């Protein structure tokens, strides 16, 4: 089989890239080892985070780092035996999170986030997936006045500098919006601009069906079979050998399985995360996506039930599950909302692909023609899938990307 382009990885980034290439007249085959959207794109919090212009940084305060060292928190957990392999990544991540660097990175990151909702909207309409989308933002809960006031001030800054909309809610306003919340909260912040997704896997599946409807091909295969064939690229799939002029690596946390084979040693780390679905007790209803900001878990009213998602677990990518954060979060969440029985047979686990400067890797491989990268989106893979797909497809087909993507170029790590 001969195609114009192969896209490796059928998560939200890969599917979106395949769509945009196919739209531009390229004949594209999308290849994954599993059904599209079954890995990292399956288990996220379901938020298209238009407000997320500030990437999640590494804590800088010594006191907070000391508290994390006890390894008993909900928002972060680490495997001690994994630290030696991760220490170089974590050191660079910590350095890039200092105030000056973090501000610079946020400004470079903002153009991607700015177009996250509009680029999703394009694909949502094209794939007729409107029933999966809610457009009422999401909510952060605050337990202390100090945290509330600091976040209110940060929201005002984001509005001034980036045009992000939000509403400050008093305790009474929060109770009116979410009458089944329990416990004492000092207030809340509602981010107005983000959209939420009732079924993240369902959205990726809808995009996949749209891709096929415009002539794209989907098959299974092992990305490590990729190799050069003269001036082209070739790999083995369930449908036989496929050859193409261009290949896109959109493999998320598994990108290194391909990139290292061609001499690229990107400093790619992972933050693992867990989720579980729950029924609500009695007639309790959770109306919106809700983050307990000082405890580090999120509750999302999804199609399959109320999804509880955890913070970050620093572990080796392929290590066995250790869902201790989920158990800790569940105990706190049950005190805040009347969760009923667990609906999944076991916790789901996924791995977020992260770079030490908190920005994705998007662009041409520095030393290989026809090899393109699109991975490293950390917490914002769902958010940034469509905009990444568009700018990379523009680059591959010789168009000028509609935003400046030089800050995300692979050669910042691999000259």
Binned at pLDDT 50, 70 and 90, residue 273 comes out as very high
pLDDT at site 64: 83
Percent of the chain whose predicted confidence (pLDDT) is above 90 = 93
Select from 330, 352, 374 the last residue of a domain.
352
Band the pLDDT of 183: cuts 50, 70, 90. Answer: confident
Kindly report the CATH number assigned to the domain that includes residue 125: 3.50.50.60
Same domain for 372 and 409? yes
Does the pLDDT at position 312 exceed 80?
A: yes
Flag whether 238 is in a domain: yes
Residues 117 and 183 in one domain: no
d(Cα 156, Cα 153) in Å, to the nearest integer? 5
Distance CA(138)–CA(322), nearest Å, equals 28
pLDDT of residue 334: 97
Q: Where are the beta strands (DSSP E) in 100-216?
A: 133-134, 138-142, 166-169, 187-191, 195-197
- Angle between helix 99-114 and helix 83-96 axes, rounded to 10 deg: 90
Q: Is residue 230 part of a domain?
A: yes
Of residues 95 and 60, the one with the higher pLDDT is: 95
Give 217-264 pLDDT, tens digit per residue: 999 999 999 999 999 999 999 999 999 999 999 999 999 999 999 999
The rounded distance, in Å, linking the Cα atoms of 168 and 19 is 38
Given 321, 352, 383, which residue is the final one in a domain?
Answer: 352
The pLDDT of residue 331 is 97
- Asked, for residue 251, whether it belongs to a domain, the answer is yes
Q: Rounded distance, CA 48 to CA 63, Å? A: 32
283 and 407 share a domain? Answer: no
Query: Based on the domain organization, do 212 and 154 belong to the same domain?
Result: no
Q: Does any domain span residue 336? A: yes
Average pLDDT, the chain: 96
pLDDT single digits (tens) 132-181: 999 999 999 999 999 999 999 999 999 999 999 999 999 999 999 999 99
pLDDT tens figures, 345-367: 999 999 999 999 999 999 999 99
Does residue 337 share a domain with residue 279? yes
Q: What is the CATH number of the domain that holds 315?
A: 3.30.9.10
Host domain of residue 332: 73-79+269-352
pLDDT in tens, 106-126: 999 999 999 999 999 999 999
State residue 39's pLDDT score. 83
Are 314 and 171 contained in the same domain? no
Say whether both 317 and 345 belong to one domain.
yes
Residue 152 lies in a domain: yes
Q: pLDDT, tens digit, for every residue of 190-221?
A: 999 999 999 999 999 999 999 999 999 999 99
pLDDT at residue 383, rounded to an integer: 98
**Same structural domain, 292 and 208:** no
Separation of alpha carbons 103 and 98, rounded Å:
8
Q: Are residues 253 and 365 located together in one domain of the fold? A: yes
The whole-number pLDDT of residue 147 equals 96
pLDDT tens digits, one per residue of 363-405: 999 999 999 999 999 999 999 999 999 999 999 999 999 999 9
- Name which of 240, 214, 213 is nearest 225 in CA terms: 240
Are 277 and 239 in the same domain?
no
Q: Is residue 284, in this structure, part of any structural domain at all? A: yes
User: Residue 1 pLDDT > 80, yes or no?
Assistant: no
Residue 128 within any structural domain of the chain: yes
Q: For the chain, what is the domain count?
A: 3
Please tell me the total number of residues recorded for the chain in this structure.
415
Judgement on whether residues 158 and 241 belong to the same structural domain of the protein: no
- Which of 192, 217, 238 terminates a domain? The answer is 192
Bridge-partner residues for 371, per DSSP? Answer: 247
Which residues make Cβ contacts (< 8 Å) with residue 253, sequence separation at least 6? 40, 268, 270, 317, 351, 352, 353
Q: Is residue 92 part of a domain?
A: no
- Cα of 25 vs its chain's centroid, Å: 28
Q: Looking at the structure, tell me whether residues 142 and 228 fall in a common domain.
A: no
Band of residue 286 on the pLDDT scale cut at 50, 70, 90: very high
């Amino acid at each position: 089989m001969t195609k114009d382009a192969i896209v490796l990885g059928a998560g939200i980034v890969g599917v979106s890239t395949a769509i945009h290439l196919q739209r531009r007249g390229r004949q594209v085959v999308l290849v994954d080892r599993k059904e599209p959207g079954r890995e990292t794109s399956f288990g996220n919090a379901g938020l298209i985070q238009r407000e997320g212009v500030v990437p999640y940084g590494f804590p800088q305060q010594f006191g907070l780092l000391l508290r994390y060292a006890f390894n008993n928190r909900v928002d972060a957990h680490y495997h001690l035996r994994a630290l030696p392999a991760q220490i170089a990544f974590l050191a660079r991540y910590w350095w890039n999170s200092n105030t000056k660097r973090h501000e610079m990175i946020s400004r470079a990151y903002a153009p991607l986030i700015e177009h996250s909702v509009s680029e999703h909207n394009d694909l949502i309409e094209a794939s007729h997936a409107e029933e999966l989308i809610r457009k009422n933002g999401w909510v952060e809960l605050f337990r202390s006045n100090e945290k509330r006031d600091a976040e209110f001030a940060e929201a005002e800054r984001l509005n001034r500098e980036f045009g992000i909309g939000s509403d400050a809610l008093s305790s009474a306003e929060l109770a009116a919006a979410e009458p089944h919340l329990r416990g004492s909260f000092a207030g809340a912040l509602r981010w107005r601009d983000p959209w939420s997704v009732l079924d993240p896997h369902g959205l990726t599946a809808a995009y996949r069906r749209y891709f096929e409807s415009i002539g794209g091909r989907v098959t299974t295969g092992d990305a490590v079979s990729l190799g050069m064939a003269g001036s082209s690229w070739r790999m083995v799939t369930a449908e036989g050998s496929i050859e193409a002029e261009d290949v896109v690596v959109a493999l998320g946390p598994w990108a290194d399985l391909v990139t290292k084979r061609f001499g690229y040693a990107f400093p790619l780390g992972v933050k693992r995360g867990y989720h579980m679905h729950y029924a609500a007790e009695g007639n309790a209803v959770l109306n919106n996506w809700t983050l307990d900001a000082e405890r580090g878990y999120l509750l999302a009213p999804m199609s399959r039930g109320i999804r509880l998602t955890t913070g970050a677990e620093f572990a080796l990518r392929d290590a066995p599950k250790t869902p201790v954060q989920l158990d800790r979060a569940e105990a706190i969440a049950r005190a805040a909302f009347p969760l009923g029985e667990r609906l999944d047979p076991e916790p789901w686990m996924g791995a977020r692909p992260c770079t030490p400067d908190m920005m994705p890797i998007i662009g041409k491989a520095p030393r290989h023609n026809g090899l393109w990268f699109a991975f490293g989106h950390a917490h914002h893979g769902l958010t940034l899938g469509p905009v990444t797909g568009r700018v990379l497809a523009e680059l591959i087909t010789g168009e000028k990307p509609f935003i400046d993507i030089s800050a995300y170029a692979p050669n910042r790590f691999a000259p």
